[in-house]
Amino acid sequence: MKAFRFFKIFLIFICCFCYINCSSDDDSSITNPDMDNDGFFDFNDNCPTIPNTDQLDTDGDGLGDVCDDDDDGDGVPDDQDNCPLIPNADQADDDNNGVGNVCDARTQPLFRCVGGTAGPFPCNGYDLMSMISAAELGGTGAQGNDSWGWTDPTTGREYALVGLTTGAAFVDITDPINPINLGRLPTATTPSPWRDIKVYNNHAFIVSEAPGHGMQVFDLTRLRNVTNPPETFTADARYTEFGNAHNIVINETSGFAYAVGTTTFAGGPHFVNIQNPTNPTAAGGYAEGTYSHDAQVVTYNGPDTDYTGREIFIGSNEDEIVIADITDKSNPITISTMVYNRIGFTHQGWFTEDMTYFLLGDELDEINFGDASRTIVFDFSDLDNPQFQMDYFGPTNAIDHNGYVNGNNFYVANYTAGIRVIDVSNISNGVMTETGFFDTFPANNNTSFNGVWNVYPYFDSGNIVISDIEGGLFIVRAN
């Protein structure tokens, strides 16, 4: 009897075991289907026809993103949405880069110019898009000096080339709000407070007052391939027919560079053929005007038809302006010289667009004579007989440094007073009018060598590069 009862219990146990196993193995596909085999049963899958193991549902509408044609639920279909995962029904895109403001890493200027200030910086009409310190660009203790710019003709990307005491830095400023420090080309010899950069045929040409430095040549197209910034670069070539130089001037039309302030040709322009950028060759020089601190060289197309098509050198030569025809490199010819009242140090100047007027900065007149920031304007309509046109005085006593004309605007690096933007459209009637400024040195506007060294105002985007001695790189834009 006991044996029979035990046998019945054993049979019940076996039947229950078989039922449980059969139910779990065979019936789940019927009672709990998983059509897309993503591990989620269809009744619990927010997109049962397309595998989506993450079950992502950005807008929380119960429909998985892989099945939803408007992931963020802002009413704009994903294929038309410039930020498909963050609601932005207005599709605002201030920098026109195809990415909505709400998706940009940073979408607004660092400081907008409001009520006369942009953050801590005095301003009028110009926003501060971003800034990078001199230390970040050049290492501990580095300071800024000159600057220039390059636009890649293939990609359209914009780059700031920033001179530093320790070398030259290259910064992608295509998105001026989020610039990328790509790296630095170290000085060829020793650090120096003076470094200058110009561009020809997608190459940067860099000189310095550092002893034995020569001229470094750097292929800027290499910047397209930087994958792990910031990098330390090497030069593609180096020209050593001179050692130190104060500045470099390039005529992009002729393909010649002119190093000024060297120990060759009495400090006058040292001619270099750079038509093959990585194989620069000596091409003579011009010593008659003696030391040139800075210069502009143009293929002339101004009002004096005697010199149309000639290569004209305008040297800022400490105590005078020298105009020379340097078309024939073996026989440069002085055209004329020009002096003016209250000469401190004839520093740097630039033609107006029509080459009628030349705007000169004297670096020491504010110190020596107590002038407000002064620009001396000359009428160069007759290169053989240049005439004084007018003095322009700025609103502060800060020292003027480098200035460049773009269209009707004259952009002046004004040391402690920042950059000043001056309308020269009515210069023929003796009128120049300041229309805006951005002051990177808010401490004061003293007559001292602090603050802005240079400004580069030639990018099509409107980005303006400012190189500041203490502050490094500033990128501003008219608001």
**pLDDT tens-place string over residues 161-210:** 999 999 999 999 999 999 999 999 999 999 999 999 999 999 999 999 99
Both tokens of residue 216? Answer: 């470094």
pLDDT band at 34 (very low <50, low <70, confident <90, very high): confident
pLDDT band at 80 (very low <50, low <70, confident <90, very high): very high
Beta-bridge partner residues of 420: 412, 437
Residue 440 · residue 453 · CB < 8 Å: no
Class assignment of domain 117-478? mainly beta
41-107 belongs to which homologous superfamily? TSP type-3 repeat (4.10.1080.10)
Beta-bridge partner residues of 419: 413, 438
DSSP strand pairing (311-316 vs 117-118): unpaired
Residue with more model confidence, 156 or 51: 156
pLDDT score of 264 more than 60: yes
What span, in angstroms and rounded, lies between the C-alpha atoms of 471 and 108? 21
Q: Find which of 45-59, 89-103, 346-360 is predicted with most confidence, using mean pLDDT.
A: 346-360
- Residue 21: the pLDDT is 46
Residue 380 · residue 389 · CB < 8 Å: no
Both tokens of residue 54? Answer: 């993450």
- Residue 54: the pLDDT is 64
- Residue 7: the pLDDT is 42
Residue 272 · residue 257 · CB < 8 Å: yes
> Average pLDDT of 225-240?
97
- Residue 346: the pLDDT is 98
pLDDT score of 154 more than 80: yes
pLDDT score of 28 more than 70: no
- Residue 3: the pLDDT is 45
Provide DSSP, 142-174. --EEEEEEEE-TTT--EEEEEEETTEEEEEE-S
Residues ≥6 apart with Cβ < 8 Å to 118:
109, 110, 111, 112, 126, 127, 128, 438
| Listed range (9-18, 254-263, 373-382, 411-420) with the worst mean pLDDT | 9-18
Where in the chain is CATH 2.130.10.10? 117-478
Tell me the three-class secondary structure of 418-437, residue by residue: CEEEEECCCHHHCCCEEEEE
- Residue 104: the pLDDT is 64
> Average pLDDT of 345-360?
98
Where in the chain is CATH 4.10.1080.10? 41-107
Strand order across the beta sheet in which 215-219 lies: 195-200, 203-208, 215-219, 237-239
pLDDT band at 308 (very low <50, low <70, confident <90, very high): very high
| DSSP 8-state class, residue 54 | T
Both tokens of residue 108? Answer: 């607004």
pLDDT score of 11 more than 90: no
- Residue 1: the pLDDT is 44
What span, in angstroms and rounded, lies between the C-alpha atoms of 210 and 145? 13
Residue with more model confidence, 398 or 58: 398
What whole-number percentage of the chain has pLDDT above 90? 79
pLDDT score of 213 more than 90: yes
Residue 444: count of CB within 10 angstroms of its CB: 14
- Nearest to 478, CA basis, from 428, 423, 441, 430: 423
> Average pLDDT of 243-265?
98
pLDDT band at 55 (very low <50, low <70, confident <90, very high): confident
> Average pLDDT of 64-90?
87
What span, in angstroms and rounded, lies between the C-alpha atoms of 233 and 150? 17
Residues ≥6 apart with Cβ < 8 Å to 77:
69, 70
Compute φ and ψ for 8, nearest 5 degrees: -65, -45
Q: CA–CA distance from 92 to each of 80, 82, 89 (Å)?
A: 13, 9, 8
pLDDT score of 106 more than 70: no
> Average pLDDT of 285-292?
94
The SS3 call for residue 232 is strand
| Listed range (9-13, 307-311, 391-395, 433-437) with the worst mean pLDDT | 9-13
- Residue 51: the pLDDT is 85
What span, in angstroms and rounded, lies between the C-alpha atoms of 440 and 418? 5
